[in-house]
Amino acid sequence: MGKLRNNFIFITGGVLSSLGKGVITASLASLIEELNYKVNIIKLDPYLNVDAGTMNPYEHGEVFITFDGGETDLDIGHYERFTNIYFSKNNNITAGRIYRDLINKEREGVFLGKTIQVVPHLTNEIKEKILDLSQNFDFTLVEVGGTVGDIEGLPFLEAIRQMAIEFKTKVKFIHVTYVPFLENTEELKTKPSQHSIKKLQESGIQPNLIIVRSEVPITQEIRNKIALFSNLLPKYVLNIPYLSDIYQIPLLLLNQGITKLLIDNKKNNTIKQSKWSDLNIIIKKIEKQPNVVNIAIVGKYTTLKDSYKSLIEALKHSSIENFIKINIKLIDSLKHEKKVIKKELNYIDGVIIAGGFGIRGIKGKINILKYLRENGIPTLGICFGLQLMVIEFCRNVLKIANATSQEFVLDKAVNKAVNNEDFAFVVKLMEDQKYVKLVGGTMRLGNYKCKVIDNTLAFKVYQQEYIIERHRHRYEINNEYLDLLKEKGFIVSGINEELNVVEIMEYVHHPFYLGVQFHPEFNSRIFKPNKLFSFFINFLKTNKFNKTIN
């Protein structure tokens, strides 16, 4: 294939946020990969945070962790789940990072006394970062966060406008917009999209392709109208109506000819048999089957599903691999602070105790863990979930009433525990975290190796001695209590040998009660599910429908 180099596709959004630009970008990248081109994706975020690490999940959804320890926007997770690419922390460029780097250069005298301005200095900084990440790739997809018209996004739009002038035919623009459906009149209304497209054009950007999100499929009349206001032929207006599964989007875009419309008409630019076609057949078959496994995710950010996006998607990946329909129920741990509301756990086949930070909601999680442990309900604890498993076990089995985590009683002002003698710190601050002063980007982050102990449930899950998983935490299980825990059957089944810290623990007197210090959900992809979730789903399926675990 005659390969092209440094082709740029910029994806913008209008009307409102959460239109699915990230999933659309990831879907397009996957389709371009199927054409055997080398693809990279960059996310531009207009907010002034340097990264997503300090943001509350209710503010912006989950924080996705990259292999190299980046705390990034959740869209980076979409990019990884749909493609074969491992993205770096550098692939998420925020306005905060741009301004910080620009000001550092000014302080170092790089600009030799010039007056630093948005144009050209800030826009040059944006372009420079995009170009640095685009070396040796055939296509670079750049998703611009926010919506057209946001004041903080203007420098990014100006930067990509300039790139269209500089690189001419190497640059294309996709604009994602929304057409609402008014139920009372049963009409699709294009006016919001018209304004959004006009606003984009006022920035000097002419879209090459429009993707319309809608609750119901748009008509040809609507397509023609949007095309007219976009200076495009109707074939360049694609539609993604509501779908039951995001993994249906790549095939939908492919069937509307997105690769042919965006990639120059040269040889080998068609996908003969897409992997997404086979996957969609499986998804539709699973949706029709009567058997369902019910899984609860216990957390404290349950009113916003995006807070647990990677976890929910990882479960979906494993449900497809195990060919079983799953029903996910989000349970707010705050409701269980006084006592366990048993009816919330009715018909639940397995429970995941999700990660988190801080003391809010932990009483509810500990109460639920006690109930799950005593009643033999399959349980998987993730990161903070493992730590709470240990605290609950120490309090209720080892009878260490004051067992707790240093996180809950840490005096932030002096960075030390208050009244040490009053607590048994079964979970403690990691050694390398004791002198950390900054909050953002300072935890144990990214890939770390774990040795899986033979003859354990963990080894049965992974079937290999060493695994690599992604981490995001400051606290660890206190090794001083491991012998006491082992005496009662709560054993270590995975360790980091270099740091001598616990990675996996399991309770041997329980069908499935296992906790991990890492976040396996960040290592799961639609075509390569994480082994831990696949085993867990298979275990629940076997328990419920009496089939053999592979």
Indicate if the pLDDT at residue 1 is higher than 70. no
**79-88, 198-207, 268-277: least confidently modelled range:** 268-277
pLDDT band at 265 (very low <50, low <70, confident <90, very high): low
Per DSSP, the residues of 109-149 read: TTTTTPPP-IIIIIHHHHHHHHHHHTTT-SEEEEEE-S-TT
Is 521 catalytic? The answer is yes
How far is the C-alpha of 375 from the C-alpha of 508, rounded, in Å? 14
Q: Which of 383, 394, 469, 510 is catalytic?
A: 383
* Bond before 180 cis per omega within 30 degrees: no
Is 519 catalytic? The answer is yes
Identity at 62, one-letter amino acid code: E
Write down the domain spans for the chain: 7-282, 289-545
Q: Which of 392, 407, 503, 521 is catalytic?
A: 521
pLDDT band at 4 (very low <50, low <70, confident <90, very high): very low
Query: What is the rounded average pLDDT of the residues 149-161?
Result: 95
Summarised one tens digit per residue, pLDDT across range 22-64 is: 999 999 999 999 999 999 999 999 999 888 878 877 677 899 9
The dihedrals phi and psi of 45, each to the nearest 5 degrees, come to -115, 125
Common-topology check for domains 7-282 and 289-545: yes
Question: What pLDDT is attached to residue 126?
Answer: 97
How far is the C-alpha of 249 from the C-alpha of 247, rounded, in Å? 5
Question: What pLDDT is attached to residue 148?
Answer: 94
Q: Which of 60, 317, 473, 519 is catalytic?
A: 519
Indicate if the pLDDT at residue 183 is higher than 90. no
How far is the C-alpha of 51 from the C-alpha of 439, rounded, in Å? 11
Question: What pLDDT is attached to residue 438?
Answer: 62
How far is the C-alpha of 471 from the C-alpha of 66, rounded, in Å? 9
Domain 289-545 carries which CATH code? 3.40.50.880
How far is the C-alpha of 231 from the C-alpha of 237, rounded, in Å? 11
Share of the chain above pLDDT 70, in %: 93
DSSP 48: S
CATH of 7-282, one of 3.40.50.2300, 3.80.10.10, 3.40.50.300, 1.10.1060.10: 3.40.50.300
User: Are β-strands 325-332 and 490-496 bridged in parallel, bridged antiparallel, or unpaired?
Assistant: unpaired
Is 450 catalytic? The answer is no
What b-and-e string marks burial along 235-265, b requiring 16 or more CB atoms within 10 Å of the CB? Answer: ebbbbbeeeeebbbbbbbbbebebbebbbee
DSSP 525: B
Output the CA–CA distances (angstroms, integers) from residue 287 to 61, 84, 292, 388, in the order listed.
27, 26, 10, 35
Indicate if the pLDDT at residue 496 is higher than 70. yes
Summarised one tens digit per residue, pLDDT across range 464-490 is: 999 999 999 989 999 999 999 999 999
Check if the beta carbon of residue 543 is closer than 8 Å to that of residue 511.
yes
